[in-house]
C-alpha cells in the first residue's frame, strides 16, 4: 500500500501469473509538465467492419487550460482529456478531394489509436502555427481542391494526388517540424507530404 | 405413376423457388428501405434542418439536452459552459458562448461515415445555431 492508501500490485506479476488481460493504465500525462504538447495519432481504417491494414494519421494537440492558446482558442480544444487538459485534432480525409477538418470523429477517438508518437513540440508558438496552417488549407480547400487518392502514386500521377497521411506529414513539415517520425504501421502517403504552398507558404517565407 | 411423382416434385421445387425469390425480394426491400430511410444518409444540411425542427433557435440548453438524451442512438460527447463551437466554415469563428457536441451515429458507405452535430448557445443559454458534419474515415 502506498502512502496515499492506494493498494500497489506489481503489474507484471498479475499479468504473468494470473494471465489476466493487461490492466488498465492510469491516463497518460501527455503534457509532461508543459503547457502544450503535440502527438501524431495513428489508427487503422476500416471498410465497414473490415480492417484494411492501412493506417490514418492525424495531429493531436494537448493544451493545459492555463495556457494562452487554450484561453484564446478554447472552442477548438473541444475534447476534454483530464482535469484541466483538453485536446484538438487536425486531420484530413477524402473521397475525390482531400478535405481537412478540426476534430474529426475518428481522429479524436484516443481508444482506437495504434500509435501515439510524441513530436516533442512544447511551445505555444509552433502550436499556433499548426492551427494557422491548417486554417490556411481549410479556407482554400473548396476553391483550390487537392486531388485525393487512397494510395497516392499507385494508380495515378503521384505528383497530383495526396491522402490524409500526406496531410499530416505536410502540415508538420510546413510548421518547420524537423525529423518527423514515420508511423511504424503502414501509412501510405506519409512519405509524400502535401507541399508547403497548400498551407499558404510560398517560397522561403509565409504568405501574409 | 413415376411421371406423376416427377410432376409433383417439380411443382414442389417451383413453389420453393418462388418462396426463396419472395424472401430475397423482401430482404432486398428491407435493406433498401433501411438505406433510404436512414436519416444519417441525408445531406448534412437536411440533417441540420431536422435538428432545428426538433429544437428551434431560442430553445434553452436544458431543453436541447433533454431532447438529445431522449434519443437513445445519440451520444452527448461534450457539454461546455465556457466555450462555443468552432464554425465549420471559414473564417472558423467561435459560435456562441456555450456548446454541446452530439454524436448522431455512423453508417457504412462502404467506408465508415461519422455524423456529428454541434449546438451553439448564447450567454443566456439560448440556442443560436446548429452545425452538422460528416467525417469519412479514410486514409
Give the model confidence (pLDDT) of A8-60 as tens digits: 444 444 444 444 444 445 678 899 899 999 999 999 999 888 999 999 999 99
- Choose between B42 and A19: higher pLDDT: B42
| Residue B40, pLDDT above cutoff 60 | yes
CB-CB contact of A147 with A141 (8 Å): no
Cα–Cα distance measured from residue B113 to residue B93, given in angstroms and rounded to the nearest whole number: 25
B111 and A101 within 8 Å at the Cβ level: the answer is no
Distance from the B113 Cα atom to the nearest Cα atom in chain A, whole angstroms: 9
Grid cell 406423376 in the structure block, residue: B4
Give the model confidence (pLDDT) of B69-100 as tens digits: 999 999 999 999 999 999 999 999 999 999 99
B111 and A46 within 8 Å at the Cβ level: the answer is yes
Residue A164 touches chain B, beta carbons under 8 Å: yes
Burial class (CB in 10 A: 0-12, 13-18, 19+), A203: exposed
Q: Which residues of B touch A48 (CB under 8 A)?
A: 108, 110-112
Mean pLDDT across chain B = 93
A27 Cβ neighbours under 8 A, 6+ residues apart: A81, A82
Q: Which of A76-80, A155-159, B65-69 shows the lowest mean pLDDT across its residues?
A: A155-159
Mean pLDDT across chain A = 86
Q: Which residues of A touch B108 (CB under 8 A)?
A: 47-49
**Which residue from A73, A159, A172 is spatially nearest to A117, judged by alpha carbons?**
A172
For the four alpha carbons of B113, A112, A75 and B124, in that order, the dihedral sign comes to positive
Partners of B98 in the beta sheet?
B121
Give the model confidence (pLDDT) of A63-95 as tens digits: 999 999 999 999 999 999 999 999 999 999 988
Give the model's pLDDT for residue A25: 53
Q: What is the DSSP letter of A167?
A: H
Give the model's pLDDT for residue B35: 72
CB-CB contact of A34 with A44 (8 Å): no
A75 and B90 within 8 Å at the Cβ level: the answer is no
For B85, the closest of A48, A75, A139 (CB atoms) is: A75
- Cα-only R_g, chain B: 24
| Residue B111, pLDDT above cutoff 80 | yes
Reported as a pLDDT band with limits 50, 70 and 90, residue A164 is: very high
| Residue B4, pLDDT above cutoff 60 | yes
Give the model's pLDDT for residue B5: 84
- B91: nearest CA partner in chain A: A139
For A164, the closest of B86, B103, B139 (CB atoms) is: B139
- Choose between A202 and A167: higher pLDDT: A167
A124 Cβ neighbours under 8 A, 6+ residues apart: A35, A36, A67, A68, A69
Residue B101 touches chain A, beta carbons under 8 Å: yes
For B137, the closest of A45, A103, A135 (CB atoms) is: A45
Burial class (CB in 10 A: 0-12, 13-18, 19+), A207: exposed
Cα–Cα distance measured from residue A29 to residue A11, given in angstroms and rounded to the nearest whole number: 19
Helical segments of B38-138, H only: 44-54, 61-70
A106 and B103 within 8 Å at the Cβ level: the answer is no
All 3 cell numbers of residue B28?
432486398
Residue A150 touches chain B, beta carbons under 8 Å: yes
Alpha-carbon distance values, A56 to A41, A109, A174, A188 (Å): 8, 12, 19, 8
Q: Which residues of B touch A56 (CB under 8 A)?
A: 137-139
In 3-state terms, what secondary structure has residue B121?
A: strand
| Residue B34, pLDDT above cutoff 50 | yes
**E strands, chain A, in order:** 36-47, 50-64, 79-82, 85-94, 98-102, 113-118, 147-148, 161-162, 201-202, 205-206
B139 and A188 within 8 Å at the Cβ level: the answer is yes
Between positions 89 and 148 of A, the ones with CB within 8 A of B are 93-95, 101-106, 135, 138-139
For B139, the closest of A49, A56, A102 (CB atoms) is: A56
B138 and A45 within 8 Å at the Cβ level: the answer is yes
Give the model's pLDDT for residue A158: 67
Q: Which residues of A touch B112 (CB under 8 A)?
A: 46, 48, 106
**Which residue from A94, A36, A98, A44 is spatially nearest to A61, judged by alpha carbons?**
A36
ipTM of this predicted structure = 0.81
Best of A57, A105, A111, A165 to mutate (most B CBs within 10 Å, chain B): A105
B83 and A74 within 8 Å at the Cβ level: the answer is yes
Amino acid at each position: 500500500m502506498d502512502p496515499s492508501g492506494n493498494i500497489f500490485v506489481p503489474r507484471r506479476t498479475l499479468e504473468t501469473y494470473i494471465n489476466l488481460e493487461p490492466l488498465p493504465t492510469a491516463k497518460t500525462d501527455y503534457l509532461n509538465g508543459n503547457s502544450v504538447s503535440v502527438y501524431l495519432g495513428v489508427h487503422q481504417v476500416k471498410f465497414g467492419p473490415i480492417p484494411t491494414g492501412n493506417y490514418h494519421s492525424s495531429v493531436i494537440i494537448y493544451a493545459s487550460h492555463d495556457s494562452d492558446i487554450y484561453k484564446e482558442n478554447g472552442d477548438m480544444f473541444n475534447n476534454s482529456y483530464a482535469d484541466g487538459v483538453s485536446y484538438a485534432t487536425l486531420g484530413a480525409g477524402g473521397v475525390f478531394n482531400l478535405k481537412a477538418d478540426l476534430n474529426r470523429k475518428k481522429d479524436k477517438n484516443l481508444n482506437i489509436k495504434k500509435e501515439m508518437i510524441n513530436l516533442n513540440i512544447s511551445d505555444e508558438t509552433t502550436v499556433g502555427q499548426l492551427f494557422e496552417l491548417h486554417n490556411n488549407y481549410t479556407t482554400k480547400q473548396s476553391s483550390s481542391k487537392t486531388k485525393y487518392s487512397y494510395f497516392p502514386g499507385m494508380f495515378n500521377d503521384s505528383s497530383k494526388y495526396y491522402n490524409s497521411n500526406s496531410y499530416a506529414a505536410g502540415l508538420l513539415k510546413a510548421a518547420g517540424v524537423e525529423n518527423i517520425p514515420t508511423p511504424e504501421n503502414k501509412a501510405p502517403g506519409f512519405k509524400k507530404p502535401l507541399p508547403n504552398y497548400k498551407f499558404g507558404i510560398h517560397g522561403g517565407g509565409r504568405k501574409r | 405413376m413415376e411421371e406423376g411423382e416427377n410432376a409433383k416434385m417439380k411443382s414442389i421445387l417451383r413453389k420453393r423457388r418462388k418462396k426463396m425469390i419472395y424472401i430475397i425480394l423482401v430482404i432486398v426491400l428491407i435493406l433498401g428501405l433501411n438505406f433510404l430511410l436512414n436519416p444519417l444518409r441525408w445531406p448534412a444540411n437536411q440533417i441540420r434542418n431536422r435538428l432545428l425542427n426538433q429544437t428551434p433557435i431560442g430553445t434553452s440548453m436544458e431543453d436541447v439536452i433533454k431532447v438529445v438524451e431522449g434519443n437513445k442512438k445519440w451520444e452527448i460527447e461534450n457539454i461546455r459552459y465556457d466555450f462555443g463551437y468552432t464554425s465549420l466554415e471559414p473564417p472558423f469563428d467561435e459560435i456562441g458562448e456555450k456548446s454541446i457536441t452530439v454524436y448522431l451515429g455512423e453508417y457504412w458507405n462502404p467506408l465508415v461515415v461519422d455524423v456529428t452535430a454541434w449546438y451553439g448557445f448564447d450567454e443566456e443559454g439560448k440556442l443560436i445555431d446548429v452545425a452538422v458534419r460528416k467525417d469519412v474515415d479514410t486514409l
